[in-house]
Chains A and B, each alone.
Chain A
Amino acid sequence: MRGSVNSAPQAAIAVPTGWGRWWTELSILVRIQFATIRNSWVWIIVMATLIPMTTIIFMRFFITDPSYENIVQILAGNLLFGIIVMGLNGLGQEISFQKHQEHFTFYASLPISKINFVLANMIRGLMSTVPSFVILLFLGQWMFDVRLHVTPALPLVALLCLTSVVGVGIILGFWSPSHQLTNILCQALMMLITFLSPVMVTADQLPTVVQWISYALPTTYAADAMRQVLLHGWTTGVMLDCLVMLAFSVLSLFIVGKLVSWRVNR
């Protein structure tokens, strides 16, 4: 034996704590995540923009004489749908992919926090969602020839929309028994949540039973907040919706923190 049995072990680097460490950890994890898309980000934005843009174009040509409220409903629904696609479907699939590619083996062998790993994935998702969100916002106004309230409250509402819906995607991604199953579940759940809440239509257009179900889904408050903020800017109603979305976000983070184990396979 070359190292003595009784000698003290080589000292590990004391991993710093506090905000500085948190920031270092997050920024490096984001850079690792960004590396996966740095050569293909244009295509990712195109793909993220394609579905909502096609829907907007489709509605522009097939809905005759829509009212201002109808136009805002269409645009807000499609903007929110883009966020749901990324937050629930995209994040769930991405985390599942990383799990089955054994990326967790690398991450779990380093002193990093699970929440920072999730945040890094969300920020990577935002890198493609934000440009498509902005493109849709301006393209929609131009196509329907309307002026929306683009205020500083809009990014806050969009961010809360995202954080309130990501929880399910994250849990599905970490749980993922197989990548194929997670793909199917994420897509099915995304469509279910979207159509069980007034994302594409107004609440009064939904059947009564679905209306009751919709109160339990964060997308209901996200859709209302998005619509109201585009129609009127920051109002008390938007603030209340934001508080409910904040509660959903905190609950999601709590559940992810408590239930999801990424270091240990049981």
Chain B
Amino acid sequence: MSHYVFEAQEISQLYKKGKTSKLANDNISLGIERGEILGVLGPNGAGKSTLIKQLVGQLKPTSGRVLYEGGEVYAQSRRVASEVAYFSQDPHVLSDLLVMEALVFTARLRGMDARSAKREAEALLGLFEMSELAGKKLSRISGGQKRMVGIGTALIGHSPVLILDEPTNELDPKKRRLVWNLIEEHNRQGATILLVTHNVLEAEQVVDRVAVINHGKLLAMDAVAKLKQRVDQRLRFEIGTAMGQREAAERELAAWGIVQEGGENRIRLLVEKHRAAALLEMIIARTDLPIEEYSVLPPSLEDVYFHIDREAEKGEVVHERVG
């Protein structure tokens, strides 16, 4: 039996439209190990969804090979469909169904008998605190509730491989926590999980390894701890600025380290450890700086992600590996 559940070997995807063409994936090689949770991180348009469609056999790469359990994925599409549950971002196809129908029908099509399908659907709705919505049409419930039903359709039937595309988008914090717990629970039961997400901070709690993708390239792939070593000589400064003063503060701080995306009136600064004390002293001494609050934290997976992306933007050598 292959060490990998899925393996992509030097896959590229060229989309052609008229005279223009776009390289959505560029020579990506990676393997998903049995029993792991692999997180795929990257901004919008990075090529994550293309990669997933290639892995599940719904998109044939322009070049390269995709293997499932050691065999060509396209030669065993029915087996892949039987064993891999795929949650795509918005299952429009189900929107005319009732909530209970969506879950039961999916389970039945995965091979469950009617009684087990109904029992499991009821249990999932109970867990999601959505039992009262069982008889409602999907098109009549909120985006977050719809997403929970979509996640339910991926979880129902206990497939040995789960592929989840942005499972926690639109969910409130309580539901997000529930989804992460469910993902961990399925993994504990032996499921291999591929997780595509923007939510780097939350994903950090559950993923074993991370693949960072941008501009169709695999920028890095390793265990979270190993990736963090890339920035472990740094500390993260979370800085809150006075209203409308973000740019002014950023100009003063840019020389101290790497400024990352922080949001409105917030600056995230990655600073070398040996310069952190001096920066702190400067912030305290300079009362003219429009800084209202600050905190110093160890780097997170999100910092690693920004660091890798920045390295790639600068054209520095990036680490690529299979597995």
Contacts and interface: CB of A to CB of B under 8 A. Distances in A.
Interface in A1-53: 1-16, 21, 24-25, 28-29, 31-32, 35-36, 38
Interface in B244-260: none
Q: Which residue of A1, A14, A104 has the most chain B CB atoms within 10 A of its CB atom?
A: A1
Contacts of B158: 10, 12-13
B83 A12 contact: yes
A2 B187 contact: yes
A10 B97 CA distance: 29
Nearest to A29: B109
Contact of B5 (A9, A31, A107, A266): A9
Contacts of B184: 2
Interface residues of B, number: 51
Contacts of A25: 109
Interface in B219-255: none
B81 A266 contact: no
Contacts of A265: 53, 58-60
Contact of A24 (B81, B90, B108): B108
Nearest to B92: A101
A15 B82 CA distance: 7
Interface string B40-72: 000000000000010011111000000000000
B26 to A, nearest CB: 19
Contacts of A15: 82, 110-111
A106 interface: yes
Given A31-B101, A106-B93, A5 B106 contact: no
Q: Which residue of B93, B97, B160 has the most chain A CB atoms within 10 A of its CB atom?
A: B93
A243 interface: no
A208 interface: no
Q: Which residue of A4, A103, A106 has the most chain B CB atoms within 10 A of its CB atom?
A: A106
B253 to A, nearest CB: 39
Contacts of A110: 81, 106, 109-110
A108 B111 contact: no
Contacts of B74: 264
A15 B191 CA distance: 18
Contacts of A205: none
Given A105-B88, A264-B57, A264-B58, A32 B97 contact: yes
A65 B240 CA distance: 90
B93 A3 contact: no
Contacts of B192: 3, 9
B272 interface: no
Interface string B84-101: 111010111110110001
Given A3-B191, A10-B190, A109 B81 contact: yes
Contacts of B190: 3, 7-10
Contacts of B208: 1-2
B56 A109 contact: yes
Nearest to A39: B96
**Interface residues on chain A, size class:** 35 or more
Given A109-B85, A263-B77, A263-B81, A1 B36 contact: yes
A102 B95 CA distance: 13
Nearest to A113: B78
B97 A102 contact: no
A35 B160 contact: no
A201 interface: no
A98 interface: yes
Nearest to B185: A2
Given A13-B157, A105-B88, A111 B111 contact: yes
A1 B112 contact: no
B176 interface: no
B188 interface: yes
Nearest to A36: B96
Contact of A2 (B35, B93, B96): B35
A13 B188 contact: no
A10 to B, nearest CB: 4
A85 B16 CA distance: 34
Contacts of A8: 190
15 contacts: A1-B33, A2-B188, A3-B35, A3-B189, A5-B36, A7-B190, A10-B160, A15-B111, A32-B105, A35-B101, A38-B96, A101-B93, A102-B90, A106-B91, A264-B59
Interface of A: 1-16, 21, 24-25, 28-29, 31-32, 35-36, 38, 98, 101-112, 263-266
Given A7-B190, A12-B82, A109-B88, 9 more contacts: A2-B188, A10-B191, A12-B158, A13-B111, A15-B82, A21-B111, A102-B90, A110-B109, A265-B58
Interface of B: 3, 5, 33-37, 53, 56-60, 74, 77-78, 81-86, 88, 90-94, 96-97, 101, 105-106, 108-112, 157-161, 184, 187-192, 208
